[in-house]
Amino acid sequence: MIQFAFEVLIGGLLSGVMYSLVALGFVLIYKASGVFNFAQGSLVFFAALTFVGLLEHHVPFGLALVIMVGVMVVVGLAIERLVLRPLVNQPPISLFMATIGLSFLIEGIAQILWGANVRGLDLGLQDEPIQAISDATGMNVSKFDLSAAGIAAVLVIALALFFNRTRVGRALRAVADDHQAALAVGIPLQYIWAIVWSVAGFVALVTGLLWGARNGVQFALTFVALKALPVLILGGFESVPGAIVGGLIIGASEKLAEVFLGPYVGGGIEGWFPYVLALLFLLVRPEGLFGEKIIRRI
Amino acid sequence: MLYREVGQYRTTYQADAAIFPIRQDRIAMVALLVVAFVAIPALGSAYLFSAILIPFLILSLAAIGLNILTGYAGQLSLGAAAFMAVGAFASYNFVLRVPGIPVLGAFIGGGIAAALVGIVFGLPSLRIRGFYLAVATLAAQFFIVWALTKIGWFTNYNSSGVITAQPVVILGWHFAAPREKYLLVLAIVTVMALAAKNMARGNLGRQWMAVRDMDLAAEVIGIRPMRAKLYAFAVSSFYCGIAGALFAYTYLGTVEPEAYNLDLSFRILFMIIIGGVGTILGGFLGSAFIVILPIVLSVSIEWLDRSLHLSVPTSVASNLELIVFGALIVFFLIVEPHGLARIWQIVKEKLRLWPFPH
Amino acid sequence: MRDQPHARHAIGDVILRAEGISLRFGGVQALTDISFEVREHEVLAIIGPNGAGKSSMLNVINGVYHPQQGTITFRDRSARRMSTHDAALAGIARTFQNIALFKGMTVLDNIMTGRTLRMRRGVLAQALYLGPARREELEHRAVVERIIDFLEIQAYRKTPVGRLPYGLQKRVDLGRALALEPSLLLLDEPMAGMNLEEKADMCRFVLDVNEQFGTTIVLIEHDMGVVMDISDRVIVLDYGRKIGDGPPDAIRANQAVIDAYLGVVH
């Protein structure tokens, strides 16, 4: 029983890694521009779908990957230029609603371009238990999940280093804090935003590939964006480690709840449990685990 | 020339505070009501009532409800459809379990049930604001639909999960034909829209807008943000609840949780963005837009199909709808963030001066 | 000038007493052991260099900030943790340094919000409008219109406040505070950012409020000319401490005050 619980926990943690990846995309953009990019989910979907589409047109894997990086960067830049810049002085809620509109737009375009069928995506990683671990402990830990976790870890470390150790990273943090002040010290705002959106696009690509390989590339991928919200609430909107921790917590708790509480109430708990959890959490700590306390002055 | 205010002097505060202070507006409103209550029922087809006017009116009501919460009180909500569901199911259960209850009474009961649920899910708003609150409303959306599906009592242990709504009988009169349903919905929506307008321009509306604009300052002048917010949730959910009941009883004919999904919540949010956040008129304009747009799109695609002989697959059509919606949201937010209602206002201002340029 | 031939209310007893107020934000000590009294019908000015804690002091008086130590006694009601709602109910109103008007509403509606505490009709009555709710609305509208006349902003009553120039917004802020019919009015830099004419107008309004309605006024102000002209008493703050308390002439000659303003190192 304990072993089973542990297995569920590990499975949950690993699926939580996926949530963390999506949340990471949100955090990047929010950190740098204060915009909550609801369209991140649809970007993930678009990335995965376009990649699969390229593969179907017999573009070699490696080349497709390179092309995709380019495409996501271009898309990111286009969004920043066409949607966000005109709205730069509007209240955050308008920007948020604009990204909702954007998400619909991207979904529609992605599906018109490539069709709406569910596609499989083969990354060369198999979703089967790792022999060594199951021999040693009798638990099933998927090779795929572990590799995904590894990739995510690498990505997070790279991003953390980027933000904290490089000049561009410092500029990004400055921009996130205060646009005017950043301009005043000569930081090129547009350039910074371009970088941010490109990085977010890249993260969306990685996320899309991993998610798509795991669950198939389908429209439901866009609802992943919604699942990221509880993750962000737990972890705070501006914290990279927070996104990771939040994702792990949500993934684990969601699975555990479904497996252990679900049978008592007819199942399907996964659909709302993360949100209710986040809600309860907010009541206690409105700014999240890693968020900053907001002091309002008048 | 037609829209001159010259000679219309308002000499009492009462006259100045009227909903339509300008005589031409009053005439236009009366004409509109005559058309809606008399001309359309006489001339309209069943298709017009069932497919266009009834959903338009019902969703306008829901949009007004959401506008009260998100537009006037500034509390972002992504769960309007869930409160509609509560209204629908509560009405169903009232009719089912309270023998002899008048249908209108059941609807009001549904609205009150929705209001109570709204208050519960609105309690977090006392601590949480902005996007975080949106998450609370998402929790409501997912949880409520799940509960209505899973908990058998709500659906009277119906195995298929889809319940047929009971017939609407008021004072012995069967409201079965599309025309009759239209008139019933029209009457309800007109009364409730008027009530909403009265609330919005009175003390409650001002409290809501104060809390939206700067709640610290509102507190300092004696407004209690907590009460104002909870009232907003209650009234908004009441409106959505009644809309939900009408949705089930006069439009769908069935009471099912899946009809009140996240997609519907988003649609209603889009209605108020496009129609005009923080206005009553915006609810109607946005609803008209969102109800008519898919029809316009499919008709145009069909026409393009036939005249240019492109065979456009249906999947493209529905995706086109997504694209157009998304693009329009972005467009409106950039160009006219206050929506169609503001555009209408600008048109009226220009009309006042016409034919002079300024 | 204070010696104008206006019918003035004589300065009465103590209406507000602050005792031992200390306020801290995290590591920053905003106020240290501040005590003073305000007498009814007087005009009291709080002055001091920037960052001295003047706005914080006002915020403590009407309950926006709760001090860690000390009490505020207003008309026999003592409290350390008074809520802003109670302060408004007790008759304390204020304006803000950064205006804090409701940008989405018209001038009329903004001032009408000040009447909220006195409007009693419930949701259903308001939804119906005809009858009791309408009577109440029009009654308070009449009061607000008198305030609008007093402040000479009739032409702007239906304009959204976001569109008004700064000076007029400050007037609307004052109007909103007046709508509470306060016995104590706290003004946070009411003349900041105004030109000479606007300042003269604002001074006139402040004095009229004090003289006609007998409202006790506590104001924060940087313009020494205004302070010396219109106040009965002056309190000086520096780095969160009180360094002067007395009539304007005494303060003008107070060495500690002069040092604070000229920046002598302590």
Closest CA to B208 of B199, B221, B198: B199
Residues in B 189-248 with any Cβ partner in C closer than 8 A: 195-196, 198-199, 202-204, 206-207, 209-210, 212-214, 216-224, 231, 235
> Tokens 């807008």 correspond to what residue?
B209
In whole angstroms, how far apart are CA B181 and each of A13, B58, B173, B188? 52, 11, 11, 11
**C29 strand-pairing partners:** C24
Residue C216: the pLDDT is 94
pLDDT (average), residues A209-235: 76
ipTM: 0.88
Nearest-5° Cα angle at C140, C135 to C146? 135
pLDDT tens across C188-218, in order? Answer: 999 988 888 999 999 999 999 999 889 999 9
pLDDT (average), residues A53-60: 83
Mean pLDDT for chain A? 79
Chain C partners of B218 at a C-beta cutoff of 8 Å?
102, 113
**C71 strand-pairing partners:** C19
Interface test with chain B among A104, A223, A285, by most B beta carbons within 10 Å: A104
**Residue type (1 letter), C204:** R
CB–CB contact C104 B203 (8 Å): no
pLDDT (average), residues B172-201: 91
Percent of chain A residues past pLDDT 90, beyond the cut: 0
Residue A146: the pLDDT is 77
User: Average pLDDT of each block of 10 consecutive residues along chain C (266 residues)?
Assistant: 58 89 89 93 91 90 90 83 89 90 93 92 88 91 95 93 92 95 94 89 93 92 88 92 90 83 62
Measured between CA atoms, the residue of chain C closest to residue A293 is: C26
Looking at domain C1-91+182-266, its CATH architecture is: 3-Layer(aba) Sandwich (3.40)
Q: Which chains touch B (3 or more CB pairs under 8 A)?
A: A, C
Closest CA to A295 of B292, C25, B189, B56: C25
Residue A154: the pLDDT is 86
Residue C114: the pLDDT is 94
Nearest-CB residue to A275 (from B139, B220, B269): B139
Interface test with chain C among B221, B229, B338, by most C beta carbons within 10 Å: B221
Interface test with chain C among A90, A294, A297, by most C beta carbons within 10 Å: A297
Chain C residues with CB-CB distance to B under 8 A?
A: 62, 64, 84-85, 87-89, 93-94, 96, 100-105, 109, 112-117, 119, 121, 123, 126-129, 133-134, 136-138, 141-142, 145, 176-177, 179-180
Helix (H, G, I), strand (E, B) or coil at B216: helix
Domain boundaries, chain A: 19-221
Structure tokens at A141: 């830990």
Q: Is the pLDDT of residue A213 over 60?
A: yes
Closest CA to B62 of B251, B202, B209: B251
State the helix-helix crossing angle for B178-201 and B225-246, rounded to 10 degrees: 170
Residue B49: the pLDDT is 87
Closest CA to C172 of C185, C184, C189, C154: C154
Alpha-carbon dihedral of residues B246, B249, B252, B256, nearest 10 degrees?
100
Residue A128: the pLDDT is 67
pLDDT-derived band at A297, boundaries 50, 70, 90: low
CA B243 to CA B188: how far, in whole Å? 10
Residue A99: the pLDDT is 87
Residue B287: the pLDDT is 95
pLDDT (average), residues A142-170: 79
Closest CA to C134 of B72, B17, B23: B17
Residue extent(s) of CATH 3.40.50.300 domains in chain C: 1-91+182-266
CB–CB contact A286 B266 (8 Å): no
CA A211 to CA A213: how far, in whole Å? 5
Per-residue DSSP letter, B277: T
Identify the residue with better confidence: C131 or B56. Answer: B56
A132 to chain B, any CB pair closer than 8 A? The answer is no
**C106 strand-pairing partners:** C160
pLDDT-derived band at B81, boundaries 50, 70, 90: very high
Residue B312: the pLDDT is 66
* Pairing outcome for strands C241-246 and C216-220: unpaired
User: Counting every residue, how long is chain A?
Assistant: 298
Chain A partners of B216 at a C-beta cutoff of 8 Å?
296, 298
CB–CB contact A295 C96 (8 Å): no
Calculate Rg over the CA atoms of chain B: 21
pLDDT-derived band at B134, boundaries 50, 70, 90: confident
B37 to chain A, any CB pair closer than 8 A? The answer is no
Which runs of consecutive H residues, i.e. helices, occur in C73-230?
84-90, 107-113, 123-128, 132-150, 166-178, 196-213, 224-230
Helix (H) or strand (E) holding A214: helix A189-215
Chain C partners of B224 at a C-beta cutoff of 8 Å?
85
Give me the phi and psi of A282, to 5 degrees please: -60, -35
pLDDT (average), residues B288-292: 92
pLDDT (average), residues B58-69: 96
Closest CA to A202 of A38, A24, A20: A24
Residue A159: the pLDDT is 81
Chain B partners of C134 at a C-beta cutoff of 8 Å?
14
Closest CA to B77 of B130, B120, B21, B145: B130
CB–CB contact A298 C100 (8 Å): yes
Measured between CA atoms, the residue of chain B closest to residue C89 is: B222
Chain C partners of A295 at a C-beta cutoff of 8 Å?
25
Question: Who contacts B14 (Cβ-Cβ below 8 Å, separation ≥6)?
Answer: C134, C138
Chain A partners of C65 at a C-beta cutoff of 8 Å?
none
Identify the residue with better confidence: B68 or B1. Answer: B68
Q: Is the pLDDT of residue B237 over 60?
A: yes
Measured between CA atoms, the residue of chain B closest to residue A79 is: B330
Question: Who contacts A84 (Cβ-Cβ below 8 Å, separation ≥6)?
Answer: A33, A35, A95, A98, A193
Taking the CA of residue C27 and the nearest CA in chain A, the distance in Å comes to 14
Looking at domain B45-353, its CATH architecture is: Orthogonal Bundle (1.10)
Residue B353: the pLDDT is 78
B261 to chain A, any CB pair closer than 8 A? The answer is no
pTM of the entire structure? Answer: 0.89
Taking the CA of residue C134 and the nearest CA in chain B, the distance in Å comes to 8
CA B235 to CA B238: how far, in whole Å? 5
Chain B partners of A276 at a C-beta cutoff of 8 Å?
139, 143
Q: Is the pLDDT of residue A253 over 70?
A: yes
Residue A191: the pLDDT is 80
Residue C255: the pLDDT is 83
C27 to chain A, any CB pair closer than 8 A? The answer is no
pLDDT tens across A106-150, in order? Answer: 888 888 887 767 667 766 666 666 666 666 666 666 777 777 778
